[in-house]
Structure 1
Amino acid sequence: MTTHTAPAAQEAPIVPSYVKDAWWTPSDGSRAADVLDANTGELLARFGSDGLDLASMVDHARTVGQDELGKLTLHERALKLKELALFLNERRQELYEVSFATGATKIDSMVDIDGGIGVLFTFSSKGRREMPNNNVVLDGPAELLSKDGSFLGTHVYTRIPGVAAQINAFNFPVWGMLEKFAPAFVAGVPTIVKPATPTGHLTEACVRLMIDSGILPAGSIQLISGSARELLDVMDYRDMLSFTGSASTAQRLKSHTNVIDGGVRLTAETDSLNAAILGPDAEPGTPEFDAFVKAVVTEMTVKAGQKCTAIRRTIVPKGREQAVVEAISERIAKRVVVGDPRAEGTTMGALASLEQLRDVRSAVESMLAAGGELAYGTLDAPVVRTAGGDDAVVPAGAFMSPLLLTWDDVDAEAVHSQEAFGPVTSVLGYDDVADAVRLAARGAGSLVATVCTNDPDTARALTVGIAGHHGRVHILNRETARTSTGHGSPVPQLVHGGPGRAGGGEELGGIRSVKHHMQRTALQGSPNLLTAVTGVWHAGADRRIAGSETFGADPANVHPFRKSLAELRVGDAYASDLRKVELQDILDFAAETGDTFYAHTDAKAAEANPFFPGQVAHGYLLVSWAAGLFVEPAPGPVLANYGLENLRFITPVAAGDSVRVTLTAKKITPRVTDEYGEVAWDAVLHNQEGEIVANYDVLTLVEKEDTTYKNWG
């Protein structure tokens, strides 16, 4: 065994900031912080921001950034995220090379870099699939505020008019940035990024690639490489600050006057003493026991345990602690090789910095002094695999052995309040399910907990018991052991955040996180003006009706199914003639479909039903007839019907009644990447008395230009 010392000091470049669409560095002689290679102690870079005009950065975002992003629709911005994801994906090896110096292994880098790129893909897809191709997002149905329908109310989302600033932790320099940037960008809000210094050079490398891509509009992203202590001073109610880091720093931010009095929106994701609970049924030898041990070791060692979602408290049935300790220790000994990520065979790299190593050691020493006992590992500098392939102690490297602690007193305050942000977990025994819930809740609010059981009753009791204390509950058993994304892996489709000491925020969460960057506003007005503002037709607004003159239609108007998206407008409509419902129609439909429910086929039983005036037509018969009443049969711009939404049957239709349909173009959504778009049609069935029989939305795909009909003709 040898001892490797740090290389001699050398000059290192200042990591630049990206300010008002240009790269910026402080003047010579300005204060700067050194960043070292986490594995070797070699000087890599220097960070400083003296002289940086934060107010001008915020103003640039509010003006240039807002203007340029506002020129694009939600779908166009979402598509740019896909273009950016593809660009970064082709160049991720460049980022890996930088990432190794942060102590991250290839797997760690994939979690950070590939995970961040995956977030861009996800928000691109969800933004185009679930949001309108517009910049006004309608939230829920309209509320009738007057008897005659001339005054309506609804809610809309529009982007906040300021900047989304983000202050990020050191552990995920790429993912942490992109998971906040993506929803802000889709919403149309420019971003200012402030990464943590120890790994900020990796963030800068990613931002540089993003800028070099030429994909992003001017002002949509800026970067602060260095201190940004006065950033909140220049923000106001128009802006949003997303923070990831310690609870103590979050508390200082929350107490800032511009948050308390100035209305800055602050979201925080902070300390979290996450738990994994082994169910009473998960005995040694069961698939659940094996999956649990694997999950704990993974969370201890991925990113060297430097994850806000890592398992800090391993909660197991009393009497099973030793079996769990032995299984975890055996798996670590067999599978974990601590060393330089650039060395073949390394599975766990260094912590991000020597300062971080000192903090983790100090936290563990405090926990040992409070009653914890070291069951596996050592606080001494471990022998590690060096980049050259030999095994040595590297004093200049931020390496640490995985540590497993046990506690005689499972209620010791330190284990439920002290977070050692590294490869450390504590094993705690519980008496029964209620006690396991109690121990998990001692974390005072956490990001995530795993419940590992194959017993449905245990799964329900534990999940319901702890859910109010956690932002996410990961239920693990033999059915998900191979397919689960894992305890510690937030996914962009679901909420990432948690109550209490976890910060109280909700980062990610699919479209929810896009709406975090938008203002929900109550909108009141006439149907015509609500239609004009939202781009969605509201009942009572003007229509241009083709079809039956009997019901107010203009026969000179073109059937809306004959109009391409280039011609179709919200409010274009069709009104049909009446069609009479005969008893034989009802009986034939019952016989053909097999739907012989008594209300359709048994007159005496139907008359006894309080909901029906006797034998009635099937709802689906009426919907089928409605299609026959409004469809224009020749080939044309309408390519396909792909579904119905919000179908409600209001008034029963008896034999002898008649029905008619009015179809109105309600919402038009062109697809950015295709030669067609989606049209939602408001469909209303009335009877001969004018009563509403049914209402629903018909969804169709329609060509942007009418090529189908021309080719057919």
Structure 2
Amino acid sequence: MGLINVNSFVAGQWLPADDGARPIASAVTGEPLATAGQASLDTQAMIEFARTKGGPALRAMTFHDRARMLKALALELGKFKDELYALSYTTGATKPDSMIDIDGGIGTMMVYASKGRREMPDGHIYVDGELEMLSRGGTFVGQHVATSLKGVAVHINAFNFPVWGMLEKLAPTLLAGMPAIVKPATATCHVTEQCVRRMVESGILPEGAVQLVSGGLGDLLDRLDYQDVVGFTGSAKTALMLRSSPHLLENSVRFVAEQDSLNASVLGPDVTPGSPEFDILVKEVVREMTAKAGQKCTAIRRIIVPQALIGPVGDAVAGKLSTIRIGDPALETTRMGALASAAQKADVLDKASRIAAECRQLAGDQDAFAVDGADKAKGAFVAPMLFACDDPDAAEAVHSVEAFGPVATLMPYRDLPHAGQLMNRGKGSLVASVITHDPAVARSLLIDAGAAHGRIYVNNRDSAKEATGHGSPLPHMVHGGPGRAGGGEELGGIRGVMHYMQRTAVQGSPDIISGITGTWIKGAARPKSPVHPFTRTFDELEIGDTIEAGPRVVTLEDIEHFAHFTGDTFYAHMDEEAAKANPFFPGRVAHGYLLLSFAAGLFVEPAPGPVLANTGLDGLKFMKPVSPGDAISVQLTVKRKTRRTDEYGEVRWHVAVLNQDGDDVAEYELHTMNAYEK
């Protein structure tokens, strides 16, 4: 097979590598594999194409449209996993490694597709947080909202995850309505290019939504402005160089970084050899050292254990590492493949030698290990290296040098405060794991070390079967960390989407805010529905449509019957003297749930119609007691509508229960599923 010519996708055109291309070698054989890069790129054309084509097309779509697009893309990419695996082998990744990258990236897109449909509106404005009352009379209110930025997101990705690294940034970016220019690391960009090619060929993406740079970015970053975003994954050194650009600083270009991280795993003082937690730590450490050959930003670099367990843990981990079969990643028997390149191998060995200068080496003789199915001298193979640092307080390299490969250091702690101090010596990490069965241990370490970590993963015998692993960032949770880890946050559900949107405080009357957000708020107009709202389809209902019903007098007989029927004979409902002694009640009062039942009886339309089901309620508040003889009425208002399936959508209703004086006695949000028009 000839050399792969890795293309860039620029302004809707595929451009082959040219005289400016750089060579890419196979991580397994060391032989030339591909070339990538162009002598020059029309970077302004790329930006304009994204801003004038991709941006408007994406912003014309609702959040739900974009979510459906993400799902379709994920399903489409799932058809081509085998061809992506085949390319991934050339980067040194085994089949399980490739699944972390490729299946993990596709899965991340699916999660964002689901969250976009469940947690965002079928519209163009995202409501962020609760309504703020800015005036005593309620005629002036405030609401935070978010809208799509009008620029382009430039994603600079690392070499270790050529698919997941791209898709985990693309998913929230596209969901936000922003186009992206993707710049993968050159060493593995041939895998990324094939993934982008499949997305483009699917026809699912609007024109200009995604572009690809295989090679150098040229002067692209110097052309960005305040509406653009740079998302970076890589070394702290490169991140500092990029984010310090005078142009980015002068134009306040958003820069989201995920970079170096000396992650730690801590074994609790409650753990003993032979316990489930001891075995969990050993398994986690070995997996994190060898998965992707340790080339994971979340991999365990420091293993912090009680002083008495240094020997047992060291023996157990070293013993497991000695059984790891290293070789051609395409072989089913291979447990650990090669590093991504010869340059990466040289860097890892150099960093490991700096760590070795202040440690004892427990495993990883680079002269003694064997490689299956490949030439050890030509491929980027290394043996997993385990070191022991007996005096971690005096050591420096173990807390400051990251060998981005299968390298970890074992070190002792005296007590929990000391363990927390050692965790924090990394000066900011993406993740730390705590292996303990004692909640007090987990709480103590979180208090001591939480400020220096983006994620704390706690595992023990109760969660081990379903726990996802120390090194697995999940799209639902924040992926990022303070300090050395970059100070940014990727993923984290809808938090990740907000990187590509502008949060704006909108102030005005209830009618104005309701009109902007598409959500009825208290104080906004409530036109009376000409017919019962339950007889109107999802499409016929309008925000603010209201029905008023009642009154109904609540009698003492009603209260007593409800108490005996349900078994709720709480004294406030049954004992006049005791109720009067309570500062909240004037005497015997109606049950709150009796009021809800009566309210439903007042507003319900019993005949079959578009309302298919009542699926729950939120925000229930009892605001004023109802005494025997009081009369209640109800106001039912369409608050928000969200399409859910091809057959029905969700309607959220504001329900206010009032007494004879017009005072609110209860309030809640009712959820129903309503059919569309036939």
TM-score range, shorter chain: over 0.9
Q: Does 1:394 align with 2:367?
A: no
1:177 aligns to what? 166
Instruction: Return the offset for 1:633.
Output: 1.2
Q: Does 1:514 align with 2:502?
A: no
Asked if structure 2 preserves the Cα contact closer than 8 Å seen for 1:167 and 1:195, the reply is: yes
Q: Does 1:490 align with 2:463?
A: no
2:16 aligns to what? 25
Q: Distance in 2 between matches of 1:415 and 1:364?
A: 10
1:239-250 to 2 correspondences below 5 Å? 239-250=228-239
Asked if structure 2 preserves the Cα contact closer than 8 Å seen for 1:354 and 1:397, the reply is: yes
1:652 aligns to what? 625
1:367 aligns to what? 355
1:268-307 to 2 correspondences below 5 Å? 268-307=257-296
Instruction: Return the offset for 1:232.
Output: 1.6
Measured on the aligned residues, the alpha-carbon RMSD in Å equals 1.4
1:142-291 to 2 correspondences below 5 Å? 142-291=131-280
Q: Distance in 1 between matches of 2:340 and 2:218?
A: 22
Instruction: Return the offset for 1:380.
Output: 3.6
Q: Residues 222-267 of structure 1, C-alpha deviation per residue, up to 9 Å, x if partnerless? A: 1110011422201111011110000111111221123322011111
* Aligned partner letter, 2:621: R
Q: Distance in 1 between matches of 2:300 and 2:129?
A: 39
Asked if structure 2 preserves the Cα contact closer than 8 Å seen for 1:381 and 1:399, the reply is: no
Matched residue SS, 1:311: coil
Q: Does 1:664 align with 2:637?
A: yes
Instruction: Return the offset for 1:50.
Output: 2.1
1:582 aligns to what? 555
Q: Distance in 1 between matches of 2:443 and 2:134?
A: 43
Asked if structure 1 preserves the Cα contact closer than 8 Å seen for 2:622 and 2:666, the reply is: yes
Q: Distance in 2 between matches of 1:498 and 1:632?
A: 53
Q: Distance in 1 between matches of 2:419 and 2:184?
A: 37
Instruction: Return the offset for 1:516.
Output: 2.0
Asked if structure 1 preserves the Cα contact closer than 8 Å seen for 2:77 and 2:198, the reply is: yes
1:340 aligns to what? 328
Q: Does 1:481 align with 2:481?
A: no
Instruction: Return the offset for 1:79.
Output: 1.1
Instruction: Return the offset for 1:33.
Output: 1.0
Q: Does 1:676 align with 2:648?
A: yes
Instruction: Return the offset for 1:400.
Output: 0.2
* CA spacing shift, 1:217–1:97, aligned 2, 3 Å: same
Matched residue SS, 1:607: helix
Asked if structure 1 preserves the Cα contact closer than 8 Å seen for 2:322 and 2:363, the reply is: no
Q: Residues 688-707 of structure 1, C-alpha deviation per residue, up to 9 Å, x if partnerless? A: 101111111111101111x5
* CA spacing shift, 1:205–1:144, aligned 2, 3 Å: same
Q: Does 1:463 align with 2:463?
A: no
Q: Residues 241-300 of structure 1, C-alpha deviation per residue, up to 9 Å, x if partnerless? A: 110000111111221123322011111001000001111222211111111101100000
1:685 aligns to what? 657
1:600 aligns to what? 573
2:63 aligns to what? 74
Q: Distance in 2 between matches of 1:629 and 1:605?
A: 31
Q: Residues 325-384 of structure 1, C-alpha deviation per residue, up to 9 Å, x if partnerless? A: 1101111122x1110111231110000000000000110112223x12221112348420
Asked if structure 2 preserves the Cα contact closer than 8 Å seen for 1:451 and 1:463, the reply is: no
| TM-score, length of structure 1 as denominator length | 0.93
Asked if structure 2 preserves the Cα contact closer than 8 Å seen for 1:676 and 1:701, the reply is: yes
Matched residue SS, 1:292: helix
Asked if structure 2 preserves the Cα contact closer than 8 Å seen for 1:381 and 1:395, the reply is: no
Matched residue SS, 2:487: coil
- Regions of 4+ moved over 6 Å: none
* Aligned partner letter, 2:429: S
Q: Distance in 1 between matches of 2:83 and 2:612?
A: 45
Q: Distance in 2 between matches of 1:543 and 1:284?
A: 67
Q: Distance in 1 between matches of 2:575 and 2:501?
A: 54
Q: Does 1:354 align with 2:336?
A: no
* CA spacing shift, 1:626–1:258, aligned 2, 3 Å: farther
Asked if structure 2 preserves the Cα contact closer than 8 Å seen for 1:14 and 1:48, the reply is: no
2:583 aligns to what? 610
* Aligned partner letter, 1:394: K
1:7 aligns to what? none
Q: Residues 84-132 of structure 1, C-alpha deviation per residue, up to 9 Å, x if partnerless? A: 1111112100100000000000000000000001001111111111111
Q: Distance in 1 between matches of 2:550 and 2:157?
A: 62
Asked if structure 1 preserves the Cα contact closer than 8 Å seen for 2:259 and 2:486, the reply is: yes
Of 104, 116, 126, the residue aligned with 2:105 is 116
Matched residue SS, 1:698: strand
1:416-495 to 2 correspondences below 5 Å? 416-495=399-478
Asked if structure 2 preserves the Cα contact closer than 8 Å seen for 1:278 and 1:453, the reply is: yes
Instruction: Return the offset for 1:141.
Output: 2.9
Q: Distance in 2 between matches of 1:248 and 1:128?
A: 38
Structure 1: give runs of 5+ residues left out of the alignment: 1-9, 388-392, 547-556, 708-713
Q: How many residues align?
A: 677
Instruction: Return the offset for 1:76.
Output: 1.3
Identity percentage of aligned residues = 54
2:388 aligns to what? 406
Asked if structure 2 preserves the Cα contact closer than 8 Å seen for 1:445 and 1:470, the reply is: yes
Q: Distance in 1 between matches of 2:293 and 2:499?
A: 31
* Aligned partner letter, 2:40: G
Range with bigger deviation, 451-460 or 498-507: 451-460
2:370 aligns to what? 383
1:621 aligns to what? 594
Instruction: Return the offset for 1:218.
Output: 1.3
Q: Residues 299-323 of structure 1, C-alpha deviation per residue, up to 9 Å, x if partnerless? A: 0000000000000001111132121
Range with bigger deviation, 219-228 or 279-288: 279-288
Q: Distance in 1 between matches of 2:136 and 2:416?
A: 55
Instruction: Return the offset for 1:134.
Output: 1.0
Asked if structure 1 preserves the Cα contact closer than 8 Å seen for 2:11 and 2:208, the reply is: yes
Matched residue SS, 1:271: coil
Asked if structure 2 preserves the Cα contact closer than 8 Å seen for 1:173 and 1:203, the reply is: yes
* Aligned partner letter, 1:560: P
Q: Does 1:83 align with 2:72?
A: yes
* CA spacing shift, 1:662–1:344, aligned 2, 3 Å: closer
* Aligned partner letter, 1:527: P
Q: Distance in 2 between matches of 1:332 and 1:382?
A: 11
Instruction: Return the offset for 1:485.
Output: 0.6
Q: Distance in 2 between matches of 1:438 and 1:194?
A: 37
Matched residue SS, 1:489: coil
Q: Distance in 2 between matches of 1:41 and 1:285?
A: 43
1:5 aligns to what? none
Matched residue SS, 1:384: coil
Asked if structure 1 preserves the Cα contact closer than 8 Å seen for 2:55 and 2:178, the reply is: yes
Q: Residues 150-197 of structure 1, C-alpha deviation per residue, up to 9 Å, x if partnerless? A: 322111111111112110010011001000100111111111110001
Matched residue SS, 2:449: helix
Structure 2: give runs of 5+ residues left out of the alignment: none
Q: Distance in 2 between matches of 1:149 and 1:475?
A: 46
Q: Distance in 1 between matches of 2:580 and 2:28?
A: 83
Q: Distance in 1 between matches of 2:675 and 2:332?
A: 55
